[in-house]
Amino acid sequence: MSTTQTPSVSDTQFAQEVRTDRLSLLWQVTLAAAILLIWVALTISATHHLVSFTWLAVCLIVVAGSALTGWLLRRNFYRAAVWCYAGGIATAISLMLYSPPGLVREAMPFAFPLLVFIVGLLLPPTALIWLCLLIGLIVIGVPALHDQALSIGPHQALALLFTGIAALLTAQAAGELYTIAEWALSHYRRERERKLELHQSQIDLKKALARAQVLAENLEQANTSLASTNVELERARATAEEAKNFRGKFLANMSHELRTPLNAIIGFSETMLHFPEMYDNVPLPPEYQRDMEQVHISGQQLLYVINDILDLSRVDAGKLDLQPCVMDLEPIFKATLTTATGLIGDRPIRLLRNLPKTLPPVYADPNRVRQILLNLYSNAVKFTEQGSITLSLTSADGDVVIGVTDTGCGIPPEEHEIIFEEFRQGRAGLCKPSTGSGLGLAIARHLVTLMNGRIWVESEVGVGSTFYFTLPRAPVEEIPVPDQRASVLERT
C-alpha cells in the first residue's frame, strides 16, 4: 500500500472530515443506546427491583461522555472529542469493574478490544499505545483497588491479550484502510475535478458555439453586403470600361478623320514641291512654292500634334505598353543622329558625341528610348540656330544618365519645370516663334517615368540647354540578346 501516492493535504483534510462524520454518528448512536438502556433499566427496576444504582451511573457516564464528545466536535476539537468519548466508555467500564468478583468483573474487560478497535479507526497508532496502557491500568488496577489486593486472573490476562491483538490488528487495518481511503478519495476528488472541468468545458463549448453562430450570422450579413458591393463595383467597373472603350473609339475615329484630309494636304504639297515630273515638268512659280512649303510644314506639324495627342492619351489610359528589355543603346543613338541630320537641314549645327568607348546595357523599351531621344533632338534643333548638339552618357549608381546639350537660346530657371507640362512652351519672346504641339517634352517625361527614370533640364539663357534623362542599368549578369538589337534596327 505504501506504493500508492501520498495523499495531498486537502485529501488528508477530507479524510479528517470523514472521520469527524463517523465520530459524530458514533457518539449520537452511543448516546441514544445509553438513553435507551437507562429507560429499559428504569422500566425493569420499577417492576423487578433488579437494577442497581451502578448500572444507572454507568449509563449516565456514557451519556455525559457522548454529549461532551458532541460538544467538543462542534468546536472542532476532534482529538479531544475522541479521547473524551473513549474516556467516557473507559470510565463506565471501570465503574463496572469496581465490583466484587463475579460474572460482570470477568466479562467487562472484554469490552475493551471493541473500544480499542473504535479508537484505532479514529486516531493514529500512537494514540492506541496510550489507550492500551490506560486499559491495562484499568483492567489490573480497578479490581485490585476494589479488593485491596493485586491479583491478575485468567480473564483479565485474556482480555488484555485480546486488547493488545485488537490494537495491533486495528493499527494495521486502519493504516491500510486510511491509505486505501485516501487513495480512493484522491481519485474521487480528481474525478470530481475532471467532471467539473468537463462541465466547465461544456459551458465554454456552448458559449463558443453561440458565439460562432453569432459570427456566422454576422459573416452571412457581411457576405450579403459584400455581394451587393461587388455588384455595384462590377457595375461601376463596367461603366468605367464602357467609358474607356468609348474614349478609345473616339480617339481612333478622331485620328482617322484627321489623317484622311491630311493625306491629301501633305501628299499634294509634297508632290508639288518635290516632284515636278508629276506635273509634266511645269515648275511651281517661286511664290507659290514658298506658300506651298508653308502648307507642307503646317500639315506635318498637324500630324505630329495628332501623334503626340494619341501618345499622351495612351499614357493616360495606361495603354502605352512598354516592352522593357536589356538593350544596347548604340543602334538607337545612331538612328537618332541620322534623323537629327535630316532635321537640321543646311543650318550650321554640328552633331557631336561625347560617349564612353563601350556603352553600358540598359533595361528599357528601345522604341520608347528612341522616341524620347527624337523628341529631345527635335527640340534642340528647333531652338538652335548654330553651334552644336552634343550627345553624352555617364553612369551614376545603378543608372545611366543621357544628356542632349544644345547651344541654343537657353531657358530661364523659372521655366525649367513648366516646359515638361502638357501644351506648355517656354521662352516666349526670347527665341523665334516655336512650332510644335508643346507635347514632346511632356511625352518624354511620361515615358522616362514609366521606365523608372528621371528627366530634367540644366540651362543658361544665351548659352544653351542640356536635357538629361536616366535609364536603369541592366543587371550585370544579363547579356543583351542579339534579337533585340536586330528588331530595333528594323524598326528604325
Partner 1 sequence: MRIAYVEDNLANLALVRRVARMGQHEVESYAEAEAALTALGQNPPDLILVDLQLAGQMDGLQLVSTLRQQGVQTPIVAVTAYAMLGDRERCLEAGCNAYLPKPLPVSELLALFETHDTEKSAARGERTGG
Q: Is 338 in the site for partner 1 (CB under 8 A)?
A: no
Q: Closest separation between CB of residue 342 and partner 1, Å?
A: 12
Q: Is 274 in the site for partner 1 (CB under 8 A)?
A: yes
Q: Closest separation between CB of residue 365 and partner 1, Å?
A: 14
Question: Near partner 1 by CB under 8 A, which window of 40-48, 249-257, 367-375, 437-445?
Answer: 249-257
Q: Is 322 in the site for partner 1 (CB under 8 A)?
A: no
Q: Is 261 in the site for partner 1 (CB under 8 A)?
A: yes
Q: Is 450 in the site for partner 1 (CB under 8 A)?
A: no
Our measurement of the distance from residue 232's CA atom to the centroid of its chain's CA atoms, rounded to an integer in Å, reads 31
Closest residue by Cα to residue 360 from 489, 485, 482, 472: 472
**Residue 249 or 347 having the CB closest to partner 1:** 249
**Residue 127 or 265 having the CB closest to partner 1:** 265
**Residue 255 or 434 having the CB closest to partner 1:** 255
**Residue 274 or 454 having the CB closest to partner 1:** 274
Question: Near partner 1 by CB under 8 A, which window of 150-158, 260-268, 412-420, 424-432?
Answer: 260-268
Q: Is 431 in the site for partner 1 (CB under 8 A)?
A: no
Q: Is 255 in the site for partner 1 (CB under 8 A)?
A: yes
Q: Is 268 in the site for partner 1 (CB under 8 A)?
A: yes
**Residue 276 or 475 having the CB closest to partner 1:** 276
Q: What is the identity of the amino acid at 31? A: L
Our measurement of the distance from residue 174's CA atom to the centroid of its chain's CA atoms, rounded to an integer in Å, reads 59
Q: Is 424 in the site for partner 1 (CB under 8 A)?
A: no
Q: Is 343 in the site for partner 1 (CB under 8 A)?
A: no
Using an 8 Å Cβ cutoff, are 16 and 78 in contact? yes
C-alpha grid cell for residue 126?
500512537
Q: Closest separation between CB of residue 300 and partner 1, Å?
A: 9
Question: Residues 277, 287, 397, 483: which binds partner 1 (CB under 8 A)?
Answer: 277
Q: Is 299 in the site for partner 1 (CB under 8 A)?
A: yes
Spatial separation of the C-alpha atoms in residues 94 and 105, rounded to whole Å: 10
Closest residue by Cα to residue 318 from 418, 248, 253: 248
Q: Is 303 in the site for partner 1 (CB under 8 A)?
A: yes
Q: Is 247 in the site for partner 1 (CB under 8 A)?
A: no
Q: Closest separation between CB of residue 308 and partner 1, Å?
A: 13
Sign of CA dihedral 64, 68, 71, 74: negative
Q: Closest separation between CB of residue 397 and partner 1, Å?
A: 34
Q: Closest separation between CB of residue 309 and partner 1, Å?
A: 12
**Residue 147 or 257 having the CB closest to partner 1:** 257
Q: Is 179 in the site for partner 1 (CB under 8 A)?
A: no
Q: Is 278 in the site for partner 1 (CB under 8 A)?
A: yes
Residues that bind partner 1 (CB under 8 A): 251-252, 255-268, 270-271, 274-275, 277-278, 299, 303, 310, 319, 321
